[in-house]
Every structure is written in C-alpha cells, then in structure tokens.
Amino acid sequence: MRIDLHLHSTVSDGTGSPSQVMHEAADAGLDVVALADHDAMDGWDEAQVAADERGIRLIPAIEVSARHRWVSVHMLAYWPDRDDAALREMLARTQEARVGRAREIVEKIAVDYPLTWEDVEARAGVSATVGRPHIADALVARGAFQTRDDVFAHVLKNGSPYYVPHYAPEVEEAIGVIRAAGGVPVFAHPGAHARGRTVPDWAIAELAKAGLAGLEVDHRDHDDATRLHLAGLAERYGLLRTGSSDYHGTGKLNRLGENLTEPAVLAALEAQRG
C-alpha cells in the first residue's frame, strides 16, 4: 500500500484542482492520500468525488499555520471535524491575516520589482488561502525570476527585506484545537532548516506532552542526517514517523509518492481519531 499524507491543491498553493490532484495521485500509483491545504478545508468534497472515481482513499486534512515563540510551525491535522466552531474560527483568523500580510509584502516588493496586487490575485485564482507562493508565481509570470523556488531563495525567505510576519496561533493552542475537533496532529517538515529557523528538540518534547501524534520525518527538505535525528526524537518521545511528498503540482519540484508512510503508521494515526 502506497500512502502519501501531504498534498496541496489550488485551494491553497498547489497548481492542480482538488479533483486533478486525486487523478494525478491515482496515476502515480498511490492508494491513500491526504489533501492538506494550508488553513483550508474547501477542497475536501471535490477531492472525495474524484478519489471515489479512481478507487483511492482520501484522508481529509489541513496544514495548519502555527508558531512556537515566533518560529513558524506547520501542523498537519488529519480527520478533524470540519464543523468544529473553534477550528473554523482559528482557520478564518489565520486566512484573514495571510491576506493582510501578502498585501504588505507586495507593497514592499513593488518598490524593486514589477508587481501589483492584481498580479497576485490572478495567480491565486479561487484559492481559499492566499500566501507567498502566489506572490512568487506572480513574479515568475512577470519574468522577474525563473521559478517559484528562485523567488523564495532571493525575495521571500524569512529574514529578507521583504519579510512580513503574520498572525498564527501558538502551536500548543493549535494542537489543542485540532485534538478537540477530533483531529490527529503531525508536525510537518520539522527539520526544514532551509526554510528558516526550526524548533529545538526540547520543544518537540513539550509538544509531545501537549498532544502531538507524530513527526513528518521523511520529507524532501530533510537530508539523511536530519531524518536520522528526527527518527530518534520520534522514538524517544513516543511519536509516529510519517513520510510524504508535500506535493504542490508544478509549483515545486516535489513529486507524488517520493516519500511514503507505512501502513502500520497510518493505522496508528487513525486509532487516535477523536
């Protein structure tokens, strides 16, 4: 069984619609996938129809934006109740903050590069969550850079002159909301040092006590040494080890199924559903 627990669609910053992503997943030989758009659940229904058509299992998920002492943290939430009031309120507040932040970033970038808010809106399209990837795509469309990754490396990385922080709940709060909504929280790409600062090991120990279920160990942004270290932390703190592609379509180099989760791990995650 081939299991990929972290995919994105046009609901956030992927380039394929929810149904298109499901068809691509089936064509890639995947059996189980999780659609985990940033701070949004809008793609689940469309994805479910396509998943049923292709005979693959869909796990509804969200990649929740959070922070740990101002370090950005992304928390994957599997099987949350989409009607949970606290969860919906948290996501709505984060989405609103993302839009305000994106506007500020565009204003800063526009001083040095050809870019307008209308350019970003055109790239975001129907996305429920507008963010930096759409700004990157707009700059690529303008010819200022070759790829989305180039933009992040030079303009949109944390600490750049164009960086703008935004609201996100403290990670312990996010874990609590996810658990209260019946979801199962897994820390996405916790060792992705190239993206910016990462949380220290002692923080992962605290998050395990707060209800964290697992670590996304096997990920493109983790080299062999990082995977070995994270696997050790997972074993030490009783956390599950997952793997996934973090697929974004043509937006990133990540390929479907390039990292997978073991069936026994999926079963253990599902056993924690609320």
pLDDT in tens, 171-214: 999 999 999 999 999 999 999 988 878 999 999 999 999 999 99
> 58 lies in a domain?
yes
CA distance 255 to 232: 26
The model's pTM: 0.90
Task: Calculate ∠ Cα 67-217-80, nearest 5°.
Answer: 55
- State the Rg of the chain over Cα: 18
> 264 lies in a domain?
yes
> 33 lies in a domain?
yes
Q: The tokens 């996501």 sit on which residue?
A: 91
> 236 lies in a domain?
yes
Beta bridge partners of 240: 214
* Structural domain harbouring 87: 3-92+166-270
**CATH assignment at residue 201:** 3.20.20.140
| Beta strands at 214-218 and 240-243: parallel, antiparallel or unpaired | parallel
DSSP secondary structure, 151-173, as one string: HHHHTSSTTSTT-------BHHH
- How many structural domains compose the chain? 1
> 140 lies in a domain?
no
Q: 156-169 burial string, b = 16+ CB within 10 Å, else e? A: beeeeebbeebebb
Shortest CA distance to 204 belongs to which of 171, 168, 157, 249?
Answer: 171
CA distance 103 to 117: 7
The confidence score (pLDDT) of residue 128 equals 67
Q: Taking the C-alpha atoms of 39, 40, 44 and 45 in order, what is their torsion angle to the nearest 10 degrees?
A: 170
Residues of the chain with pLDDT under 50: none
The confidence score (pLDDT) of residue 248 equals 95
User: Cβ neighbours of residue 93 under 8 Å, at least 6 residues apart?
Assistant: 167
> 113 lies in a domain?
no
> 115 lies in a domain?
no
Average confidence score pLDDT of the chain: 95
CA distance 84 to 56: 26
> 160 lies in a domain?
no
CA distance 189 to 33: 17
Contact 76/186 with Cβ under 8 angstroms? yes
The confidence score (pLDDT) of residue 17 equals 97
